[in-house]
Chains A and B, each alone.
Chain A
Amino acid sequence: MNTLPEILAARKNIIVDKWAEAILSTYPHESLKFLSSQKDRFANPIGHAVRSSSEKLFDELVHGNDVEKIRASLDDFLRMRAVQDFAPSEAVGFVFMLKRVLREITAQEMTGKGQASFQDELLNFESRIDSMALVAIDLYMEAREKLSRIRIDEVKARSLLALSERQS
């Protein structure tokens, strides 16, 4: 019977892949082929961001305790989701998809021998995912606020111009 840390280490690639795939499936299905196959980070920044953020975030959840690093990886990604066609819950919801993936991957351990202690471990890990979701909500809001601030600045600059024009 493997412990959760062992499983997370051994099955990292498949977990990250499945998570990234789940995140990508929030984009329109006609675009999926491109988003998941084009590997050039400049030709396909969404696909690249999904892949690199999911891996970095997973590593931080498993090994690290560095909130700043989590923030940085989430930030790039949420800034993107904040201007795309998503409701706030959809923009942030990708975090919880990791839970679903983990439960799928560990279905055997969840019901097998020693399941009680395994479930405890998983619940603990899941609460880390929950905390990450809270950070994601903050970052999503920051991005939206930034957008409104930029917009207000543009409106202000434009009305100042109109005003100076009227006075000249």
Chain B
Amino acid sequence: MSESKLKPEELAETIKYKTPNRNWMDQKVEMKPGRFSHSGVPKSVEYLQLPNPRKWQPTDPDWQLPENWKEIILEGLRDRLNRFRSLRVFMDICVRCGACADKCHYFIGSGDPKNMPVMRAELLRSVYRHDFTLAGKILGKFAGARELTIDVLKEWFYYFYQCTQCRRCSVFCPYGIDTAEITLLVRELMNLVGVNIDWIVTPVANSFRTGNHLGIQPHGFKDSIDFAVDELESITGIKVEAPINKKGAEILFITPSADYFGTPHYYTLLGYLALFHEIGLDYTWSTYASEGGNFGSFISHDLMKSLNAKMYAEAKRLGVKWILGGECGHMWRIVHQYMDTLNGPADFLEEPVSPVTGTKFENTTSTKMVHICEFTADLIKNGKITLDKSRNDNWKVTFHDSCNPARALGLIEEPRYIIKNACNHFYEMPENTIKEQTFCCGSGAGLGTDENLEMRMRGGMPRANAVKYVKEKHGVNYLGCICAIDKATLPPLMEYWVGGVEVGGVHELVGNALVMKGEKERTTNLRGEPLDGKME
């Protein structure tokens, strides 16, 4: 039949419009470029003494798994079901009410049903039913059970590395089922047979080796802090002190390594330095605890524990009284929710008290670690620093609640209080996209790789959509946040979806506004951009 004989509507039928209606269990995963991350390199896997180091990629037909990989995983699952009561509860109590189904940013941005949290959990639950419940053993597929096969493992890899462990879904679950916990456990199971991604294992290996994700050595660390001190001097005319590994300092300051090596994180680092100088804080940096982030938590409980312990070991070695923590995301979730059972309580430290205001941070009695936003908000509240808001007049600011501080730590009001005291122009995004309901950046939990960019843009779309709205409505041009992963991954997200919005930390705004004793007249902000009305 020649084409000219086809009526237009028939021709139209040749284009595939509708998606097929098939049972989810029968749909195999297709690994397409842009939608998954590369596998862990053998060197890093070996360094961490994790199983099955080898060269492989998720697109390989043969994943070179150990012969008994299935037994290893099922045994691992059995062991964890016994050890973590929460896991068994999560496996058994979901009533499939669907309250979580439409709450995941990956689902909202893609429309892919396997990104519904309830379905994501079902990927594991179906295997659990098959091997650990009577109904599943007898009724199989009719009871929603299925055997663990290589295709199931591939599906796990695809979808559990498409969960940023942001916990938005758990806010809506009437039973408090936390899909992020399930993701953590499935990743742990996959690691038992060497199925992992490089953007997680290599930063963790680096953290063990040099103290931080990027593998920066002590002299490199010192160089970047020194460089920042010089740069701050050229902007403010003040040479600040930035003590490193100083024994007997009152406070140890720990922040993500990206703060001293990444942009726009770096401007927040300048903000910290200015603030600590201005209040005369007796503190120290550490080259060993030179990382707040803990990618170990994206692999297993064991690695999470070791990396968390490192911060406390360093506090002990330096003999500080307590720890102050910078603008970091998941570090806070770990400190707040796991630290106590993993390594705590940190009895050798003192209960944190602000040396400037005398405020006791009673919420940190057991962890002895205070969030910089609580610390700064307390300074402002007690009138201990002077902020000139007009120095942030070129910014119209909105605030992205980073998932972990908002949902795990409940740190909602402090950053807003600081921003409102440091800026004249602040606009909130719509209520169902902020605070406890905040939308993830789409790149957390180790998924921020360039090869995974397309997936990141899907996952970040709901966040970007709300930013675009306030940009169009109020002319917002600054997206504030308090997490290093946000600072690294929101800029490309903005570039793709919105345009014309810069990303930066809350303490960058503080540093801009902070009036320092003896400073020269500021003509630029911390980015070196001219202040409105000054210069030119």
Q: Which residues from chain A sit less than 8 Å from chain B, CB to CB? A: 22, 25-31, 34-35, 38, 40-46, 79-80, 83-85, 89-90, 93, 96-97, 99-100, 103, 143, 146-147, 150-151, 153-155, 158, 161, 165, 168
Interface size class of B (residues with CB under 8 A): 35 or more
Which chain A residues border B111 with CB–CB below 8 Å? Answer: 27-28, 31, 35, 46, 84
Contact (A150, B453) CB under 8 Å given A40-B432, A44-B102 = yes
Choose among B15, B108, B457, B497 the residue that contacts A43 (Cβ–Cβ < 8 A): B108
Given contacts A80-B461, A97-B17, A147-B457, contact A45 B109 (CB under 8 A): yes
CB proximity of A43 to chain B, nearest CB, Å? 6
The DSSP consensus for interface residues of chain A is helix
Known: A28-B19, A83-B457, A89-B15. A146 touches B465 (CB 8 A): no
Closest 6 CB pairs of A and B: A30-B113, A27-B111, A154-B450, A168-B220, A83-B457, A45-B465
Q: Give every chain B residue within 8 A of A168 (Cβ-Cβ).
A: 216-217, 219-220, 223
Q: Please measure, in the bound complex, the distance between the C-alpha atom of A168 and the C-alpha atom of B214, giving whole angstroms.
A: 13
The answer to whether A103 and B8 touch across the interface, beta carbons within 8 angstroms, is yes
Residues of B bordering A, CB below 8 Å: 8-9, 12, 15-19, 21, 24, 34, 101-102, 107-113, 214-217, 219-220, 223, 261, 430, 432-433, 450-451, 453-455, 457-458, 461-462, 465-466, 469, 492, 495-497
Q: How far does the alpha carbon of A46 sit from the alpha carbon of B107 in the complex, in Å?
A: 10
A165 proximity list for chain B (CB < 8 A): 214-216, 220
**Also in contact, A45 and B496, with CB within 8 A (given A93-B15, A96-B15):** no
* Contact call B21/A29, Cβ cutoff below 8 A: yes
Bound-state Cα–Cα, A150 to B499, Å: 12
Least CB distance, A135 to chain B, in whole angstroms: 18
Find out whether the CB atom of A100 lies under 8 angstroms from the CB atom of B12: yes
Q: Which residues of B contact A147 (CB under 8 A)?
A: 34, 453-454, 457, 496
A133 to chain B, nearest CB (A): 11
A42–B465 touching, CB < 8 Å? yes
**Does A38 lie within 8 Å of B102, measured CB to CB?**
yes
On chain A, the residues within 8 Å of B9 by CB distance are 100, 103
Q: How far, in whole Å, are A44 and B223 apart by their CA atoms in the complex? A: 47
Given A150-B496, A151-B453: A42 and B466 interface contact (C-beta under 8 Å): yes
Partner of A27, one of B15, B19, B432: B19
**Nearest-CB distance from B4 to chain A (Å)?**
15
How many angstroms between the C-alpha atoms of A84 and B454 in the bound complex?
8
In the assembled complex, which residues on chain B have CB atoms less than 8 Å from the CB atom of A43?
A: 102, 108, 432
Name B497's contact: one of A29, A79, A85, A96 (CB within 8 Å): A79
- A153 CB to nearest chain B CB (Å): 8
